[in-house]
Amino acid sequence: MSPSALPDGEPAPEDGSLPDAALAGLASRRLSAYVHVPFCASRCGYCDFNTYTTAELGAAPGASRTDYLAAVGAEVTLAARALGDPPPLSTVFFGGGTPTLLEASELGGLLAALRDTFGLAPDAEVTTEANPDSVTPTSLARLREAGFTRISFGMQSSAPHVLRLLERTHTPGRALDAVRWAREAGFASVSLDLIYGTPGESADDWRRSVEAALAAAPDHLSAYSLIVEDGTRLAARVRRGEVPLPDEDDLADKYAIADAMLAARGLNWYEVSNWARPGHACRHNLAYWRGDDWWGFGPGAHSHVAGVRFWNVKHPRSYSARLADGRSPAAGRERLTSEDRRVERVLLELRLAEGMPVAVLTDAERRRLPEMAARGWLEQRGDRVVATHAGRLFVDAAVRDLLG
């Protein structure tokens, strides 16, 4: 998961330095790394991520794969200097974009730079995202040899007409082949991503997609409702009346279908949109939801260190140019107050199956808990507040009303 776009904040220092208060106790906390790879072979019609095709980037200096690799290497050096004495990385996550458009040796080189600079914890989780049609048995074997332990494939659907509307380039069976190849390569954990609620997708289409995913026996599965983002080709089609908006009741029904099918096969929910076999929850994404420290490398990547959030310039050329000049690529930063961080805990931790401590809530918020329980959205279990099954469908509304 890559954190959502942030509002403009204060200017970020040119040298990438952080406030002393953010660095205090850093060595005793968990630290993760996110590496944003902005390249895609083609742009899916529903996607609004910070990604670029070769045609969009052109041949201008700073936009090539070589420039990108050099720039990320420079940011690794800058981050190590800014953090001073950081702990070894607990998790590393390569996202995008399509990280596996880079050669396995190139991804391995970036991972080696992180390992050599920061060190990796003995049990570090190292993930890359991949499109099913961007890998082969050979490339997966090389990624595993380079030190990747976990891989997440964007399957999205097994229905050809759904893949076409989403403008996905792989065939329905390719994701299942990719899972098998990853198993053969020795990955410790394999994940699949699905999307539900695409216009024209029936309940049976969705059920068959979940069944197909389960047939591959993944360790982890993410299921996200389709969101029509402004500025995408899909949004333009909806605006022209060519396809309808996803229906909220349909989305809720499909969520319930997935949850029941996955639980029956031993994949239990640990976050609203994520299910896993025991021991296979994505520790990197849990670091986001639990408010750990992470440094995001690459154009448009976001970082968080002890309540200081900062984000890089978005375009690969601007990102490369800043680092080539010896400057931080950060476009701005935001310092969270203690109240900001408390509210953020409520927003994020109520998405988790473990919930959040009641002690995080104010007295006024605690007085609203009986109303949330009467609606069937939240319940108190001992010293924690957790979302009910129905509450998972309304978690954003529950949080809004709980916070008042």
Is residue 131 over pLDDT 50? yes
What are 30-45's pLDDT values in tens digits? 999 999 999 998 888 8
Q: Name the architecture of domain 338-404.
A: Orthogonal Bundle (1.10)
pLDDT digits (tens, 9 = 90+) for 318-348: 999 999 999 999 999 999 999 999 999 999 9
Residue 1, pLDDT > 60, answer: no
In whole angstroms, what is the distance from residue 363 CA to residue 344 CA? 17
Digit-coded pLDDT (tens) for 218-237: 999 999 999 888 888 888 89
CA distance 175 to 192: 8
Query: What letter does residue 245 receive in the DSSP assignment?
Result: P
pLDDT digits (tens, 9 = 90+) for 361-393: 999 999 999 999 999 999 999 999 999 999 999
Whether residue 302 is predicted with pLDDT greater than 70 in this model: the reply is yes
In sequence order, what are the beta bridge partners of 194? 156, 223
Strands (E), 293-387: 293-297, 302-305, 308-312, 330-335, 356-357, 378-381, 384-387
What confidence category does residue 154 fall into, taking pLDDT thresholds of 50, 70 and 90?
very high
Mean pLDDT along residues 280-303? 97
**pLDDT on residue 61:** 80
Find out whether 403 and 362 touch, Cβ atoms under 8 Å: no
pLDDT single digits (tens) 76-93: 999 999 999 999 999 999
Other CB atoms within 10 Å distance of the CB of residue 393: 20
CB 345 within 8 A of CB 291: yes
- CATH 3.20.20.70, domain 20-289, yes or no: yes
Contact 306, 292 (CB under 8 A): no
Q: CB neighbours of 10 closer than 8 A, spacing ≥ 6?
A: 332, 333, 334, 335
Which CA distances in Å does 232 have to 49, 50, 239? 10, 12, 11
Query: For residue 8, what pLDDT is reported?
Result: 60
**For the chain, where do the domains classified as CATH 1.10.10 start and end?**
338-404
What's the mean pLDDT when you consider all of the chain?
94
Nearest to 129 by CA among 157, 108, 146, 150: 150
CA distances from 222 to 127, 152, 183, 255 (A): 14, 9, 18, 11
Give the list of residues 6+ apart from residue 114 with CB closer than 8 angstroms, or none: 33, 35, 76, 89, 92, 120
Q: Which residue has the higher pLDDT, 239 or 109?
A: 109
Region(s) of the chain under CATH 3.20.20.70? 20-289
Look at 123-137, 164-178, 318-332, 343-357 and tell me which has the smallest mean pLDDT. Answer: 164-178
Structure tokens that stand for 84 in this block: 């001073």
Q: Report pTM.
A: 0.94
**C-alpha–C-alpha distance, residues 229 and 64, integer Å:** 28
Mean pLDDT confidence for 164-179:
90
